[in-house]
Structures are given as structure tokens and as C-alpha cells.
Structure 1
Amino acid sequence: MRSVLGLLSALAAIALAIWLNQEVAFSSARQVVPGCTALDTSYWISQLSLLDESSYDRWVYLSGNASCRNVTLCQEYDTAVIAIRQNAQLLPNTLSFVDCDADPVLCYSWLVQPPALMHIVSSKDSQTKPTGRSNVIMQPIQLPVSNSTQSLPEQFNDATANQTITYIMSDEFPIENVEVWDGFLNPFTGALGKYGGGILWGKVKYRLGWLPVSQQTLIIGVLLLVRLFIRKIGPSQTEVTAADMVVPPGSLD
């Protein structure tokens, strides 16, 4: 009976892996910020030139309608980001965006919900060449900024979307006070993320996110299925009986 259940679980894990690995087709991204690049799940690292020699700050704005927890809020921040793009004349390669309606997998893989900003900076040294992956720093900023983050001064507690975006993307903003994302799904330093675990999680969240379970429960369930599958395809182990535990095999030879 146990072997049958194990086999069924392994088959379920295989089916889940095949299902998750299927291409996910979405609608074309909205031009959320005119003149800026819409990032794509498959190519966002090269789109941001993160592995190039040059080092500069990148800002990625995450927006959405259906994927936004508050559509009105997202629209307010959309307008604010467009305004600062036009007024400050930011270089096109310093500001990009993700339409989480068109590419939810990328947003889920970063563990953020729109509206949000992701600050990314990379630098090269002799120890990180040729990939440079360990020297890419990602700092997510969920909008509106929570008072508990201590990222904004007290006078910004009731700031408008335009005031918040203008301050965050200015030279006066203490970006060093924003927590660095160094979790296991980080695509550059994470134990699973640097092997594509973040994108896999994005697909899991997109396909199974409707289930009435918490994010932690969903992660644990997927990991258990994967572990069971690995055990089934690994080398078989001889079952240890109660007699073997009392008298180890070979001890009476």
C-alpha cells in the first residue's frame, strides 16, 4: 500500500512539474510608462544590462489593474511615475516597468505586489567576473511605504503618490536604509533562486494562487512533492526490519 501511494505521489509530482513547465501565454504589456522598457520574465536580466561592465542604479516600477490589490492606488502611482519620468528626464535605461497583468510570473517571482518599486544596482569586481551575479543587489519597496520601514521621514506619513515617488527616486532618499532582498528565491544569491526557483515559484503562484491556502503552505506542499519525487527516482534502499535493528546483518557470520 505504501509503495502504491508513493508511486502515485511521484506521478503527481511529475505531472505537476510538466504542467508548471508549460509556456504561460499572456496579453501584451501595457505601456505603463511611455518611453521605458517593459520587462519580460525570460529576458529581464539582459534587458536591464545587469551583467554589463557599467554600474548604475536601476528602478523598476511594478503596476497592474487586475493584479493590483487597489486599482485606484495603482493608477495614482502610475501617474506619479509617468510625471517624474517626464519632469526629471530620467534616462530610459534607469527606469523600467513590469505590467503584472501581462507578466504575473515575474512579479510573483520577486515576491511583491503592485504598486511597488524595485531598486537594483550591480557592480563588477575581480571576484564576481564573469557572471557578476553575486554583486547584484535588489531592494523592493512596497507602495505606499509603511511607517514601520523607517524609509520616509515623518512628514511623509500622509504624502501623496506623487510626493512619495518624487522623494524615493531623488538623490536625497536614503536607499541604504531599505532592506536588501536576500531570500532563497533571490535570482542572484538565493539558494533556489539562482537555479530558476523564483520563476518556478512564480508559475506555481500564478497557476495555484486561487487555492484558499497561505503562501507558506503552498511552498511547503510543493517542496514535499519535489522531495518525494527525488526519493522515488533515487537509488533504492533496502528496507530495515525490526530483526535487523536488534541484530545487524552480518554480525552473526
Structure 2
Amino acid sequence: MRPSSALVLAFAASTVAQDQVLLVDKLKGWFAQATAAVSSAVPAAASSPVASGRAKAAESIQHELTLENWKETLTVDPSVSTPTTQEWLVYITGGNATCFGFCGNTTKAWNTSLPLLAAKPNPPKFAVIDCDAQPVLCNSWSVGPPSLYYFQIPKPLADQSAPAATVRYQPLNRTSTTTDTLKKLVLDNELENVVPYEGYFHPFNGPLQQYGLAVPLAYVIWGFSKMPSWLPMILISFMSRTIMGRRGQGPAPRAAAQPAQ
């Protein structure tokens, strides 16, 4: 084969290959556009009516706690005579920020079981905290989702004295928690076997609450959680260089003693 013929054939082959690549790219682009058009044209699937009904039923039973209202909400009915103790069961949940999007299973189990829990004799009162919406409150209690906080709050006596509130904290498994799990904890009184919490972050009687430090500390923790991951490293590096620089300077030299005249 002559060299000129070989060059012609090579040029033709490369041209065909380039045309095939361009055709494939055009097909990919067209397919992406068609997929986007179909996705925008098809409406999002509506949530299950059963799930929506459960969520509405749960909302009608439980109280939503915030940093501003929790102390006024978690109280004893003033019409009840003393001595008495009011039980509160608080479900702690979250979203993408505090539960990484994995609280859906436990929330579904909570909403499903809540009417059953409320039907027990002398049921506790129910409340919920969304740590995505109330991060400072969750940090002031040092709790995270998904979990339960079980309160037994005594009513103050006539002289306003009252025993300390008993609190029990029970974390929930994000994947394996079911309605049966909550039934056993509440209806079968397994929560009573949890050792009461008496640490620094006790919501009522902890030292941080008594000295007014829980909320300021919670803001600090929340601020650190919002800080970019690279910023602490820069601050640590800056501080370490400053300290090492001061050490490297050493003590100031003493002035030489002047000879006596």
C-alpha cells in the first residue's frame, strides 16, 4: 500500500472515531435533558395517608419543647393535690444536622406507638424535641437523637420545697427501634430499670443548671459545631507558634553590674 493511501485511510478512520465520540456525547446530553424533563413533569409522590394520620395524631398528643418553653411545660398539673409526681416522656429526634438523616425509622415507630402509650392507665405526658430546630436546648441537656428522656417531677409542697426530679436517659437504635421496642420500654416499665442520671447536665438539678451555665455552655458547643473543620487547626497552629516564639526569646539579659567608684 502506498504511503499516501495509508495516510488517507488513517485520516478517515480518525474522522469516523471522532464522529462516534461526538455522537455518543450528543446522545448522553439528550438523555440527560430528557430525564430532567420527565422528572420535572412527574409530580412528587404524595406521602402515605396513614403516615400523615399518625403524625397528626402524635402532634395532638405531645408537646413541642423549645429553649424558651420547656421549663414551663415540664411541670406538674397545679390542680392535683400534693404529694404527687408527674411523669413526662420526651422523644428526642433530629434531621440531617444532628441525626444525619437516620431518625426516620425511630420517628415512625414513635408516631405509631404514641396512641397506644397514651392509652395505658395513668399515662405520662408526652413531648418532643427536634435537635435540628433546638440545638442549644439539646446541648444544654447533653442529649442527642434518637433517644428518650423520662422525667418524674414531684409537685412542690406548700412551702415550695420538693424532692429532686428523677430523670432517665435512654438512647434508641436508629435502625432496629420498632413499636415493640417502645412498648417494652413504656408499657412494660423497662424504663424504670434505667439508672437515673445525676450528672452535671441534669436538666433540673445539675450544677450547670443551678449556676446558670448550661445555656451559655450549650451556645459554645453549638458554635464549635458550626465552625469549619479547618479553622481549629489554624487556631491551634497559630497558638503553638506564638507559644514557641515566646519560649525561643528566653529571659531578658540582666544589666551588667557597674563597678563601685
Q: TM-score if structure 2 supplies the norm length? A: 0.55
Q: CA deviation at 1:177?
A: 2.1
Q: Identity of aligned pairs, percent?
A: 23
Structure with greater Cα Rg: 2
**1:199 equivalent in structure 2:** 215
Q: Secondary structure at the match of 2:201?
A: coil
Q: Secondary structure at the match of 2:90?
A: strand
Of 108, 130, 144, the residue aligned with 2:139 is 108
Q: CA deviation at 1:93?
A: 6.5
Q: Does 1:178 align with 2:194?
A: yes
Higher RCO, 1 vs 2 (CA within 8 Å, ≥6 residues apart):
1
Please list, as runs of the form range in 1=range in 2, the aligned pairs for 1:57-206 lying within 5 A after superposition.
57-72=87-102, 74-90=103-119, 94-124=125-155, 129-130=159-160, 132=162, 134-144=163-173, 160-170=177-187, 172-206=188-222
Q: Does 1:49 align with 2:75?
A: yes
Larger fraction in helix: 2
Q: Secondary structure at the match of 1:67?
A: helix
| Equivalent-residue separation in structure 1 for 2:145 and 2:172 (angstroms) | 8
Q: Is the 8 A contact 2:140 2:215 kept in 1?
A: yes
- After superposition, the C-alpha distances for 1:153-196 in whole angstroms (9 at most, x for unaligned) are xxxxx9542221121121x2333321212112323222222232
Q: TM-score if structure 1 supplies the norm length? A: 0.57
Query: Structure 1 residues 31, 44: closer, same or farther in 2, change over 3 A?
Result: farther
Q: How many residues of Structure 1 are paired with residues of Structure 2 in the alignment? A: 169
Q: Secondary structure at the match of 2:133?
A: coil
| Equivalent-residue separation in structure 1 for 2:57 and 2:104 (angstroms) | 10
Q: Is the 8 A contact 2:110 2:182 kept in 1?
A: yes
Which ranges of structure 2 fall in alignment gaps of 5 or more residues?
Answer: 1-54, 230-261
Q: Is the 8 A contact 1:68 1:115 kept in 2?
A: no
Q: CA deviation at 1:212?
A: 8.3
Moved more, 160-169 or 36-45: 160-169
Which ranges of structure 1 fall in alignment gaps of 5 or more residues?
Answer: 1-29, 146-157, 214-253
Query: Structure 1 residues 46, 125: closer, same or farther in 2, change over 3 A?
Result: closer
- After superposition, the C-alpha distances for 1:100-135 in whole angstroms (9 at most, x for unaligned) are 111111111111111010000012465x94153x42
